[in-house]
Chain A
């Protein structure tokens, strides 16, 4: 079965705190891709990162970093020094053949000033 689980439904932090959003996936495919998308209150879906199954290097982009571990089937997302503008729903997704995306349920992040 192909599945993405984001166990944290809602997270609330105070500005400048670090926060990690968890993502656990299940797949039998040997080649697959993992994604994170952000959905701000305005409703659009914004692509953040793509990672293929052969590349376990962690990635850092400004205040964002991603930790991909095949051994635990996890692809976690950390925001360092969170800001109010980071408040959004964040989705982790698994891409299979023909490009179909399987989304997690999403984690709502609220960053309070």
Chain B
């Protein structure tokens, strides 16, 4: 069991470039989430999905898009990267109900 994996681990972009972060989980979880972590601010929810084909906005969705075409994958896209999107991005998954979320190892993104 790999749990939750994220690709890539590190990335440097120039302002205006686009990219997609991939999250994959092998625990058959219904729910998946994308967070960003910035110094002194904890983790903030960007977008989430409660099932294949569904997505919803979290706390800080602007500048990001997501897709959940397959149950095991959750993609986070940046169409036109900005320096304010420099952050560490975490993907997580969970079962429905009050169960814990399992987190991926994170992606460190720098936008110059």
Contact = CB atoms under 8 A, between A and B. Distances in A.
A46 to B, nearest CB: 8
A99 B31 contact: yes
Interface residues of B, number: 26
B88 interface: yes
Interface string A88-113: 00010001001111111110000000
A7 B2 CA distance: 35
Nearest to B93: A99
Contact of B96 (A4, A35, A44, A99): A99
Contacts of A44: 103, 105-106
Interface residues of A, number: 24
A15 to B, nearest CB: 26
Contacts of B35: 101
A91 to B, nearest CB: 6
B33 A99 contact: yes
Interface of A: 4, 9, 31-33, 35, 37, 43-45, 47, 50, 52, 91, 95, 98-106
Interface of B: 31, 33, 35, 40-45, 48, 50, 56, 58, 88, 90, 92, 94, 96, 98-103, 105-106
